[in-house]
Amino acid sequence: MTQTPSAALAEFSATLTYDMIPSAVIARCEDFLLDTFGSMLAGFPARPVKAIRDFALAMGPAQGSAQIIGSTQTTSPLFAALINGAAAHMVEQDDVHNGSVFHPAAVVFPAALAMAQETGASGKDLLTACVAGYEVGIRVGEFLGRSHYRIFHTTGTAGTIAAAVAAGRLMNLSPAQMLDAIGSAGTQAAGLWEFLRTAADSKQLHTAKAAANGLTAAWLARDGFTGAKQILEGAQGMGAGMSSDADPARLTDRLGSRWALAETSFKYHASCRHTHPAADALASVMQNHGLAAADISRVITHVHQGAIDVLGAVTRPETVHQSKFSMGTVLALIALRQRAGMPEFDAALNDQTVADFRDRVTMELDEEVDTAYPQRWIGKVSVVTQDGRTLQGRVDEPKGDPGNTLSREEIRQKVRGLAQYGKSLSDDQVAAGMQTIEAIGTAARVGAIY
């Protein structure tokens, strides 16, 4: 009997071992864990994250096996995954896989770290589970396709599956149990883009619940709770209900030989990834032609449809977080401040010079860029100068993409900057956390990160 795609994913993730994973993929997984540590620290004090944290600590135990990153508090694995999942995605600095338009780190690491601390797993076990979560979650995102992403936040939907797989691997689920976990995760998968229109806080709930619901699904499966066997490709599954272009072949694409984790990109700018290609292209034009912001009359960004679908809803940002989904705001910061980091966004919301430049930026659908997306995120801009010139800018691989990636030292610098922004830990605690993560593969038992 032919194995279903869902069953193939379950068997792969339940039987994956550390020795099966290339050393370069393991090293990159450590890089992403380090990168995510910084994002959690930066996101920890944010108001939406605090609301979720206050809820979790009211509902859950005040002490437990799992660490709340950014504090000295602990709680149960479920609520640690919830809190850390919210924090990891707050400042828009967590990683992204281009082809699936999915942010794996924000959902995989919170669930996996909580379960590793609960079970006393080794560092190698943790890394193996995280690779499994990335490989499955990315393929689910690719399976759901572009039509899904127009309405659904893939990190909330595919992310629930990814978190379940990562947690399940740390529970040593059998392939049959892992299939149940995937089924229970899929039936809980959710996350809608409508929040962007009114600057709502829902995006943090998407990653928080994806991490926690995935962990729940795995825990239940371990105890015999059954789930749908074809929740992904079934007649009434996620593909049928959430997509018009779902392709089941993508679920098992070169499973075990193509390592999708290695295709994942770091975020350089603290904004929605759809803004990054144009931001890099504008920076290139300004540098190459010696332009200042005052020299620019308008900027036309040539984008894919996904950018229009997500960013088009934001015309006048009402919050700092919403401004990170404003193409005009991001390009204004690049033009005016040469950087689009967290401090720049905090200062930009009520800055009239930023607003003036923002209103000179437009998006236009570009056939070449749209055809290449989502496998490639090309940046193209036309810059019209005050003296009437039209200058073209192009970037084929934005900073952070695998072909233009961050070095380990650049990641360390990024983490330090994120930690300083969050102000939740001392410099010594941050240094200890970074040291722990960089040596995680040798840890006999995963405990507190700092």
Task: Residue 161: name the closest of 125, 195, 191 by CA.
Answer: 191
Once rounded to an integer, what is the mean pLDDT over residues 95-119?
98
Q: Which stretch of DSSP H or E encloses residue 8?
A: helix 5-15
Instruction: Please check the confidence at residue 310 and state whether its pLDDT lies above 70.
Output: yes
User: For residues 302 and 369, what is the distance between their CA atoms, to the nearest angstrom?
Assistant: 7
User: For residues 153 and 292, what is the distance between their CA atoms, to the nearest angstrom?
Assistant: 36
Task: Residue 34: name the closest of 83, 95, 117 by CA.
Answer: 95
The domain segmentation of the chain, as residue ranges, is 5-267+406-442, 273-395
The sign of the CA dihedral 130, 131, 136, 139 is: positive
Q: pLDDT tens for residues 157-181?
A: 999 999 999 999 999 999 999 999 9
How many other C-beta atoms can be found within 10 angstroms of the C-beta atom of residue 118?
Answer: 21
User: For residues 218 and 60, what is the distance between their CA atoms, to the nearest angstrom?
Assistant: 19
Cα separations (Å) of 59 from 50, 70, 190, 235, 255?
Answer: 14, 19, 22, 37, 39
Which tokens in the block code for residue 180? 């149940």
Which tokens in the block code for residue 155? 């990190």
Q: Amino acid identity of 304?
A: H
Angle between helices 105-119 and 123-151 (to 10 degrees): 150
Q: pLDDT tens for residues 193-215?
A: 999 999 999 999 999 999 999 99
Instruction: Please check the confidence at residue 416 and state whether its pLDDT lies above 90.
Output: yes
How many other C-beta atoms can be found within 10 angstroms of the C-beta atom of residue 201?
Answer: 17
Contact 46, 91 (CB under 8 A): yes
Instruction: Please check the confidence at residue 107 and state whether its pLDDT lies above 90.
Output: yes
Contacts of 158 (CB under 8 A, 6+ apart): 100, 102, 137, 138, 140, 141, 144, 189
Q: What's the confidence (pLDDT) of residue 162?
A: 99
> What is the number of residues in the chain?
450
Mean pLDDT (the chain, rounded): 97
Which tokens in the block code for residue 315? 């015309």
Once rounded to an integer, what is the mean pLDDT over residues 2-10?
96
Q: pLDDT tens for residues 262-298?
A: 999 999 999 999 999 999 999 999 999 999 999 999 9
Cα separations (Å) of 353 from 286, 348, 360, 386?
Answer: 18, 9, 11, 16
Contacts of 308 (CB under 8 A, 6+ apart): 363, 365
Angle between helices 408-422 and 427-438 (to 10 degrees): 150
CATH topology of domain 5-267+406-442: 2-methylcitrate dehydratase PrpD (1.10.4100)
Q: pLDDT tens for residues 44-82?
A: 999 999 999 999 999 999 899 999 999 999 999 999 999
Q: What's the confidence (pLDDT) of residue 2?
A: 85
Contact 303, 364 (CB under 8 A): yes
Once rounded to an integer, what is the mean pLDDT over residues 303-324?
95
Q: Are strands 74-75 and 296-303 parallel, antiparallel or unpaired?
A: unpaired
User: Structure pTM?
Assistant: 0.96
CATH topology of domain 273-395: 60s Ribosomal Protein L30; Chain: A; (3.30.1330)
Contacts of 84 (CB under 8 A, 6+ apart): 40, 68, 69, 109, 110, 113, 114, 211
Strand order in the sheet with 379-385: 361-365, 296-303, 379-385, 390-395
Which tokens in the block code for residue 44? 């920890």
Instruction: Please check the confidence at residue 365 and state whether its pLDDT lies above 70.
Output: yes
Instruction: Please check the confidence at residue 444 and state whether its pLDDT lies above 80.
Output: yes
User: For residues 370 and 309, what is the distance between their CA atoms, to the nearest angstrom?
Assistant: 12
Instruction: Please check the confidence at residue 315 and state whether its pLDDT lies above 80.
Output: yes
Q: pLDDT tens for residues 30-42?
A: 999 999 999 999 9
User: For residues 303 and 169, what is the distance between their CA atoms, to the nearest angstrom?
Assistant: 39
Once rounded to an integer, what is the mean pLDDT over residues 362-380?
97
* Res. 1 pLDDT band, cuts 50 70 90: low
Q: What's the confidence (pLDDT) of residue 284?
A: 98
